[in-house]
Amino acid sequence: MKPVYYENGELKLIDQTKLPTTFIIHSYTDYREIATAITDMIVRGAPAIGVTAGYGVYFGALEYKDEPKDIFYDKMKEVCALLASTRPTAVNLFWAIKRMEAVIEANKDKDPTRLVEILKDEANAICSEDIQMCRDMGKHGAELIHYGDTILTHCNAGALATADYGTALGVIRAAHEAGKNISVYADETRPFLQGARLTAYELQADGIPVTLITDNMAGWMMKQGKIDGVVVGADRIASNGDVANKIGTYSVAVLAKAHGIPMYVAAPTSTIDFAMKSGDEIVIEERDCREISHIGGIQIAPDGVAMENPAFDVTPHQNITAIITEKGVVYPPYDINIPKLKDEI
Ligand code: MRU
């Protein structure tokens, strides 16, 4: 299940706002429309957003490649700024744009018509590396899962949130493929329902036993001993191990700690913001409150009621048992062990 890929001169995105009832793939060649697709969450999930932004930069370069060099570089600044303005929390977006900008900078001596081809190669590389990182993460993470475990996950950190295979669901997939006989509880993940719409859909399609619960059921499932471990993804990890992920992850982490259940975060090193000292600095996206007041287009809250809709929260590193990356499993003390990862990238 590839939510983002390049084919025959077009960027293809599975429309994740329509799943699971309708499966549509949209085609893009305009970087402005690609930016809108990120903002509107047609594509979502930190690594998938990064991959999409990489292609967005390429399509911007393709549009402006015949301009005089100075205009081309000015336009590319505009392209990158637009793509960077789409969503603030997932660092993979900025990581991918910076990587594309570095390619532009390193090839300034070349004609834009040649540079555009190099940018296409880079966007393709970001995409294929993401798949490999997910596979490697899966291998490392599966070792932490025991035979017969039931795993709770929150939001969708699956193939649909990456270029393929997934981060948290990559670990779950790898454990399943290793014959560990695992099963999964998927939080529905209010208000955007990525758990109900995407995780349940993805796991069901793969034949991995999944039970959907509402977010407020997780604690009770833990109390009854029905959950052996939690595995979630991440949108940004600070260098002290604080983790920004979908709103509700913090509550799950607190519950896991209270019940003595391991809380694992699976994320590629592209999700680590090495420059950020702690999660206090992470910008949390605030989204339209209509996501709360309405479900499936039907109003469920009174007109005019006050609402808040933070899309992410930050789980303090003290609540996280281990962070699974493509380079291996990282344990506390995170402020020492995360910076060490930088040398391995
Ligand atoms: O708002 P979304 O759907 O983009 O949020 C996605 C998440 O929070 C995921 O858990 C995170 O990006 C990890 S995805 C591999």
* Residues of each domain in the chain carrying CATH 1.20.120.420: 4-134
Tens digits of residue pLDDT in 7-37: 999 999 999 999 999 999 999 999 999 999 9
Q: Is 160 in the pocket of ligand 1 (CB under 6 A)?
A: no
- Nearest ligand 1 atom, CA 312: 8
Mean pLDDT computed over every residue of the chain: 98
Q: Does ligand 1 have an atom closer than 6 angstroms to the CB of 42? A: no
| 190 annotated ligand binder | no
CA of 56 to the centre of ligand 1 (A): 19
* Inter-CA distances, 191 with 24, 194, 302, Å: 22, 8, 16
Of 194, 270, 264, 263, which is closest to residue 237 (Cα–Cα)? Answer: 270
Q: How many other CB atoms are found less than 10 A from the CB of residue 182?
A: 23
Q: Per the annotation, does 107 bind a ligand?
A: no
Superfamily name with CATH number, domain 4-134: translation initiation factor eif-2b, domain 1 (1.20.120.420)
User: What percent of the chain shows pLDDT beyond 90?
Assistant: 99
pLDDT digits (tens, 9 = 90+) for 50-68: 999 999 999 999 999 999 9
| Identified catalytic residue from 130, 187, 235, 242 | 235
Quick check: CB of 47 below 6 Å from ligand 1? yes
Q: Is 168 known as a binding-site position?
A: no
CATH architecture assigned to 141-342:
3-Layer(aba) Sandwich (3.40)
Dihedral in degrees, nearest 10, Cα atoms 273, 278, 280, 283: 0
Ligand 1: which atom is nearest the Cα of residue 267? 15
CA distance to 12, 109, 162, 273, per residue, from 267 (Å): 24, 36, 10, 12
Place of tokens 């996501």: 291
Instruction: Give 141-157 pLDDT, tens digit per residue.
Output: 999 999 999 999 999 99
Domain limits, CATH 3.40.50.10470, in the chain: 141-342
Distance 46 CA to ligand 1 centre (A): 5
Q: How large is the average pLDDT for residues 76-94?
A: 98
For 246-292, write each residue's pLDDT tens digit.
Answer: 999 999 999 999 999 999 999 999 999 999 999 999 999 999 999 99
- Cut 0.75: pTM above it: yes
Is the minimum distance from the CB of 235 to ligand 1 under 6 angstroms?
yes
- pLDDT for position 345: 86
Rg (CA), the chain: 20
